[in-house]
Structure 1
Amino acid sequence: MAAAQKLRKCVVSQTGKHTASVIFLHGSGDTGQGLRAWVRDVLAQDMAFEHIRVIYPTAPARPYTPMHGALSHVWFDRYKISRDCPEHLESIDEMCSNLGAVVQDEIRAGVPKHRMIIGGFSMGGAMALHLTCRYHQDVAGVFALSSFLNKDSVAYQAVEDAVGHHPPELLQCHGTADELVSHAWGEETSRLLKNAGMVTSFHSIPGLYHNLCRLELDLLRSWILKKLPSESSYTTKS
C-alpha cells in the first residue's frame, strides 16, 4: 500500500475535555467543509459535543470514471455506480491507508480506537465500511447514510473472517425515495453485513431522497452519544 497522503480536515472541536472522536466522511464531489456546512444547515447548528471531536476529512481530487475521468473529490474510483460490478480495490485500499493516518492522529491525541466512530454519507459511508470492517474493527461503531456496498464486496468476507473480537456495530439510514442509491441497495447491504456477523440497525426514512434530514441526524447524534458516552458515564460503567 502506498504511503499515506495527508488529508485536509475540517474540525468541530469539543467544548470540554476531548475523550472521543467521530470521523465523518463526505459523499462524492463534496468536501469536509461542505459536509460540515450541510449538517449545520440541517440542524441549524454544528453537530457538536462536550467531549467528542467531529472530524470532516476531504478526499483528494482524482479522476472519476463515472464522470468520464473528470477530477472529483471522491474517496475511491468506481467502474460505475452499480452494486453488481467489481470494486475498484486499488483506490479503496489507498484511501484506507490515508484515512488510517487520520485515525492515528486521534490516537496520538489520546483517544483510543474503542472511543472512535467512523461513518459517512453516500460514498463516504461505503468508504467507512471498508475502513472499519477490513482495517479498524476495534472502533466503537460505524454509520452509513444513503450508502451501499457492492454485492460481492470484500468487506463482507472481512466481517466473516473476524477472529477474537466482534466487528463494530453499524447504524444505517436510507431514504425510501432515494433515486441515486436505491433503498433496496442499502437494505441489502445491511442484511449481508448482518448475515456475516455484524450487529446492524437499519432505519428507513420515508420520502427522503439522496439527502440528509433532521430525523436521521438526530438519530445519529443519539446513537453517537450512546456509543461514546461522556467520560463520567464511561468511567462509571467501566
Structure 2
Amino acid sequence: MNEQLLPCVEINPTTTPTACVIWLHGLGDSGHGFAPIVPELKLPSSLAVKFIFPHAPERPITVNGGMRMRAWYDIKSMDFDSRADLAGVQESAEQVEQLIQAQIDNGIPANRIVLAGFSQGGVIALHIAPRIKHKFAGVLALSTYMCEPTLLVNEAQSTNKTTPIMMAHGEQDEVVPVFMGNAAYEVLKGNGFDVTWQTYMMQHNVCMEELNDISAWLQKVLK
C-alpha cells in the first residue's frame, strides 16, 4: 500500500478544527474544483470545520480514448452495471481511508468527520462508508451512483447503519442519469442504512438551493 497521503487543498477554520469534511471531486476535476463552495456554505465559525479536498491521481480513462486525467477509477464503458472499475475504486478507497486515519491521528474523531463526494468522488464515498470500521458524523453523496451494488449485501458493516447519508441529484443530469443515483439510494435503504434522497432542477452540477440544504444538513450532523 502506498503510505504517502493524497495531496489536498485544505481550508481551515479560524480556530483549532474540531470537525472535518473530506470532499472528493469528480472525473477530470481536482481538489480545487469544490474549494470555492466553503464560504458559500456560510457555516458558523463555532463549528470549527476543516475542509479537505484531495486530488485524485491521474490515470488513463478508457471511455475518453485513454486520455490521462484526474480520476478515482477508470471508466471502461458507460453501461449502468459496469461503469465503475472495481479495482480502481478499491485502490482509491484505500487512499482515502489513509486520509481519514490521518485526521483521526491528528485529533479529530471519526464521529466528527463527514465524508462527501460528487460524481466519481461520491462513488468512492458510497464504497467506503458502508464498509469502514469508523463511524462517521455523516456521508454526503452528490450526483453519483454505486460501484457493484450487488456486493453490498455481503460486505456491509453495521458501523454506519445509523449515520445520516444525504444523497442529492439533478433531475436533468445527462452524465449520471438520475435513475442511477436513485438505484444506489434504494440499495442503501434496502441494506438498512439511514439515507435520504432529494432531487433538484439542475444538470450534473451543484446549485444554490442544494448548497443551502447541504449547509443546514452539515450544521445538523456536526452540531
**TM-score normalised by L of structure 1:** 0.85
Task: Give the structure 1 partner of residue 60 of structure 2.
Answer: 63
Alignment of 1:221 onto 2:215: yes
- Residues 1:187 and 1:216: Cα distance change in structure 2 (over 3 Å): same
* C-alpha displacement of 1:47: 5.9
Task: Give the structure 1 partner of residue 188 of structure 2.
Answer: 193
Partner secondary structure for residue 130 of structure 2: helix
- Residues 1:77 and 1:136: Cα distance change in structure 2 (over 3 Å): farther
**TM-score normalised by L of structure 2:** 0.90
Two-structure CA RMSD over aligned residues (Å): 2.1
- Give the aligned residue type for 1:200: V
1:163-220 CA-to-partner distances (Å, cap 9, x unmatched) read: 46635321011111111111111111101110011111101102x0111111111111
Alignment of 1:1-238 (within 5 A): 2-37=1-36, 39=37, 45=40, 49-50=44-45, 51-85=48-82, 87-150=84-147, 152-159=149-156, 162-163=157-158, 166=161, 168-206=163-201, 208-229=202-223
Distance 2:184 2:160 in 1: 21
- Counting matched residue pairs gives 221
- Give the aligned residue type for 2:10: V
Distance 1:21 1:148 in 2: 23
Distance 1:136 1:217 in 2: 29
* C-alpha displacement of 1:16: 2.2
In structure 2, stretches of 5+ residues that fail to align are none
* C-alpha displacement of 1:8: 1.1
Q: In the alignment, is the contact (CA less than 8 A) between 2:139 and 2:166 conserved in 1?
A: yes
Q: In the alignment, is the contact (CA less than 8 A) between 2:28 and 2:70 conserved in 1?
A: yes
- Residues 1:128 and 1:169: Cα distance change in structure 2 (over 3 Å): same
Distance 2:172 2:130 in 1: 28
Partner secondary structure for residue 23 of structure 1: strand
Partner secondary structure for residue 143 of structure 1: strand
Q: In the alignment, is the contact (CA less than 8 A) between 1:83 and 1:150 conserved in 2?
A: no
Deviation >6 Å, runs of 4+: none
Distance 1:86 1:30 in 2: 18
* C-alpha displacement of 1:48: 5.3
Q: In the alignment, is the contact (CA less than 8 A) between 2:19 and 2:113 conserved in 1?
A: yes
1:58-113 CA-to-partner distances (Å, cap 9, x unmatched) read: 00101112212211100112222332227422211111111112112211221110
Percent of aligned pairs with the same amino acid: 29
In structure 1, stretches of 5+ residues that fail to align are 230-238
Q: In the alignment, is the contact (CA less than 8 A) between 2:123 and 2:147 conserved in 1?
A: no
Q: In the alignment, is the contact (CA less than 8 A) between 1:83 and 1:149 conserved in 2?
A: no
- Give the aligned residue type for 2:108: V
- Residues 1:155 and 1:57: Cα distance change in structure 2 (over 3 Å): farther
* C-alpha displacement of 1:148: 0.7
- Give the aligned residue type for 1:172: M
